[in-house]
Amino acid sequence: MRKLRLIFAILATLGSVVVASAQQPSDDGFNLIVVGDPQPQTKAQLRELEQVIVPQIAKIVEEYRAESDRPTAILLTGDVVWDTMRFLPRVKSAFESLGVEVYAVIGNHDHNRAFFCKDARAEKPYVKTFGPRNQSFILGETLFLTLDNIMFNPNKTYREEVDAMQLLWLESEMANHPEARRVALCMHASATDFNSGIIKPYAQPMVDIVGDRELHFVTGHRHRHNTAEHTPQLYEHSVAQVSGNLWFAPICSDGTPRGVFCIEERNGEWQWHHRMLGRGADDRLVVWREGQVEGSDEYVVVKVVGWDDKWRVEWSENGAPMGAMDQVEMYDPDYMHYVEYEADYGKKYLERLRRSATLRSHYYRLRRTVENSEITITATDRFGRKFEAKL
């Protein structure tokens, strides 16, 4: 049994690589810009990625460079392309033009459709472009590992799974990096149920292997933003699609604006936020005045971009504290307005956009007690950072 285990471990190692970053690990932390599912399918989408989205991300990279010499890197959460294997090198080149390290994981749309029933052949274009599916790198005090959790079946369907060879590789990496206080497992599909906190069966062995260390799953695939703290040691960050809703809407179906997920390590601790493209780092609130949101005509409504359940949202009126705003669940007003009044698609795609809209809880509302009063909304995230909007 030991000999068989050793053979599997050697085979797993042959299919993986430890990336020696040009940016040396820094005790002072890092900046990681996580890009959710770039997924261009057409030449027009590829050009928009290259000429609009990547230049907007470049501004974020420059901000980080101006702030300090901490290493900055890019992580693509899979579905790098949308079944268009020939686009893979151009997408990689576009992100490499930012002058930082670029890492990626393989998604279901990064498999060559002609070879779905033969996983290794299906993955060949991705591996040729980005290297082995299993890679490890260290930033700050965090060990990052990329895994492939998309396994295709002969009937061209796929299941979420991490095979035994990858688990052996993960076990080896844990043994090789005892100094890493935190582990980030980067995959395409989610590892946990965000509502129940239940770890999916295929992911439980990974949690067991990581053991007592702080563990963050960083995933994409769902095209929506969600950060869930399942325990003080176990998190999952689901990163919204950078282009909006499948390139058909400039905002995701859960109301998350086009943007990236920024993970920053400072003094050994993580902090994070969703960064809207083309907007400042402190722009976290979207506000609608009375009469602008259907069903809330008498209310001021605010959306907290990058929300999780540790946010507090309070308000004051004419300088007097009024306490917490009322949290409400709704479809995103901007997304629904786009679908109903701006989207220029045929019936098929419009219905698809409508069906994809999701009720979310990152909205709050207030009703003035004095007409035309001065309102200040203050939102505080889990890290104590405060963001304000004034009306």
Q: What domains can be seen in the chain, in order of their start residue? A: 2-276 (3.60.21.10), 285-390 (2.60.40)
* DSSP conformational letter for 222: S
Q: Band of the pLDDT at 117, cuts 50, 70, 90?
A: low
Q: Output the pLDDT for position 9.
A: 43
Q: Output the pLDDT for position 2.
A: 38
Query: What gap in Å lies between CA 198 and CA 123, rounded to an integer?
Result: 30
Termini Cα distance of the chain? 69
**Do 212 and 233 touch, CB atoms closer than 8 A?**
yes
Indicate yes or no: pTM above 0.75: yes
Residue 33 has pLDDT above 70, yes or no: yes
Under DSSP, is residue 148 helix (H, G, I), strand (E, B) or coil?
A: coil
**Do 103 and 75 touch, CB atoms closer than 8 A?**
yes
| Strand bridging mode 269-276 / 375-380 | unpaired
**Do 189 and 217 touch, CB atoms closer than 8 A?**
no
Q: What is the pLDDT of residues 163-217, one digit of tens each?
A: 999 999 999 999 999 999 999 999 999 999 988 889 999 999 999 999 999 999 9
Residue 141 has pLDDT above 90, yes or no: yes
Q: Band of the pLDDT at 349, cuts 50, 70, 90?
A: confident
Mean pLDDT, range 297-303, rounded to an integer: 97
Q: Output the pLDDT for position 5.
A: 40
Q: What is the pLDDT of residues 40-67, one digit of tens each?
A: 999 999 999 999 999 999 999 999 999 9
Mean pLDDT, range 31-43, rounded to an integer: 98
Q: Output the pLDDT for position 140.
A: 95
b/e burial code for range 199-222 (CB count within 10 A of at least 16 → b)? beebbebbbebbeeebbbbbbbbb
Query: What gap in Å lies between CA 203 and CA 385, rounded to an integer?
Result: 32
Q: Output the pLDDT for position 16.
A: 53
Residue 30 has pLDDT above 60, yes or no: yes
Q: Band of the pLDDT at 225, cuts 50, 70, 90?
A: very high
Q: What is the pLDDT of residues 232-273, one digit of tens each?
A: 999 999 999 999 999 999 999 999 999 999 999 999 999 999
> SS3 letters for 232-297?
CCEEEEECCECCCECCCECECCCCCECEEEEEEEECCEEEEEEEECCCCCCCCEEEECCCCCCCCC
- Which has more pLDDT, 113 or 16? 113
Q: Output the pLDDT for position 22.
A: 38
Q: Output the pLDDT for position 203.
A: 97
Query: What gap in Å lies between CA 273 and CA 31, rounded to an integer?
Result: 11
Query: What gap in Å lies between CA 16 and CA 135, rounded to an integer?
Result: 6
Residue 7 has pLDDT above 70, yes or no: no
